[in-house]
Amino acid sequence: MLASPKAEGHRRARRWWPWALLAPGLVWLIGLYLLPLLALVPLSLSEPVSRFGLDTVFRWRLANYGEVLGAYGPVLLRSFGFALVSTGLGLLLAYPLAYGIRFRGGRWQPLLIGLVVLPSLTSYLVRAIGWTSLLGDNGPVLGLITALGLTDLGNGLGLLRDGRLLNTPTAVVLGLTSNQLPFLVLPLVVAMQRIDRRLLEAAADLHAGGLRRFRLVVWPLSRPGLASALLLSLIPAAGDVVNPLFLGGPNERMVGNTIENLLLVQLQAPRAAALALVLMALISLAVVLQLRTGGLDDLALP
């Protein structure tokens, strides 16, 4: 059958439409994200030309990777450790919170969600600096701990260091947790929104108690939310720069701080690039593993 030239033109236009719509975004992503990212690969295999320049020559210098892994392996481990602990802690807080918002929030739901998001409206740099006065040696948090006589307990559990809170791992984890909380709550609320109330009613009709309803209905159906919450929290937490800088001390530096120092202070752009790529590779690996094990298609994202 012969198509009229007009119909042919229509079809062609229709084929190009989605690309035209995608173009601005694609240009943006390719030009400002993908290309610079790819440029990191040759940079990470280069050598600095001189001590005081950021100019480099490409030499297939794979040793950069060995060097940064050898020197900064412990920092990488620490970063992922902090990210995991803060995400775990955040989930413990976020799950009941999301549950409460979804099933007990009633008409206050939008307001409650707004309140969860509210702290994110201030710059997280400002929040970290705010934490320094709250957690300082003469700050209210430590004052409360001292007044309750919990200092020795805190020291014993390793939460406080010589009775101090600021510039300890605890402070960094607290900072990270508070940053990640909205990213944990929102996907969980989304997942729980999708739970049909009638399922709970049906379970109740079948004489399932509250705990059983939770175990058999709510928990399995909210797990996709858990999976995406994990991703949304773990990824930024592992690369965080601000919290370890302000709330930690030299023993709490994370890999983001190391990359910054390598690039801007030591002027070792190739090593900084290598470390950044190692971090990205590890995170991408974590994401892939997560997507493979967690319910892939049911991932709830806000």
Cα(286)–Cα(188) distance, integer angstroms: 20
Q: Does 269 bind other proteins (CB under 8 A)?
A: yes
* From candidates 45, 89, 174, 186, binder to other proteins by CB under 8 A: 186
Report how many residues bind other proteins under the rule CB under 8 A. Answer: 73
Q: Does 137 bind other proteins (CB under 8 A)?
A: yes
CB of residue 255 vs other proteins: minimum separation in angstroms? 9
Q: Does 261 bind other proteins (CB under 8 A)?
A: yes
Cα(87)–Cα(90) distance, integer angstroms: 5
Q: Does 146 bind other proteins (CB under 8 A)?
A: no
Write each residue from 34 to 53 as x if it is in contact with other proteins (CB under 8 A), else as -, in one continuous string: --xx-xx--x-------xxx
Q: Does 100 bind other proteins (CB under 8 A)?
A: no
Nearest residue (CB) to other proteins, 93 versus 299? 299
Cα(73)–Cα(98) distance, integer angstroms: 36
* From candidates 87, 167, 178, 222, binder to other proteins by CB under 8 A: 167
What torsion, rounded to 10 degrees, do the Cα atoms 152, 158, 160, 165 define?
-170
* From candidates 162, 198, 207, 292, binder to other proteins by CB under 8 A: 162
Q: Does 61 bind other proteins (CB under 8 A)?
A: no
Q: Does 218 bind other proteins (CB under 8 A)?
A: no
Q: Does 166 bind other proteins (CB under 8 A)?
A: yes
CB of residue 210 vs other proteins: minimum separation in angstroms? 25
The one-character DSSP state at 57 is E
CB of residue 155 vs other proteins: minimum separation in angstroms? 12
Q: Does 289 bind other proteins (CB under 8 A)?
A: no
CA-derived radius of gyration, the chain = 25
Stretch that binds other proteins, among 88-96, 195-203, 213-221, 224-232 (CB under 8 A): 224-232
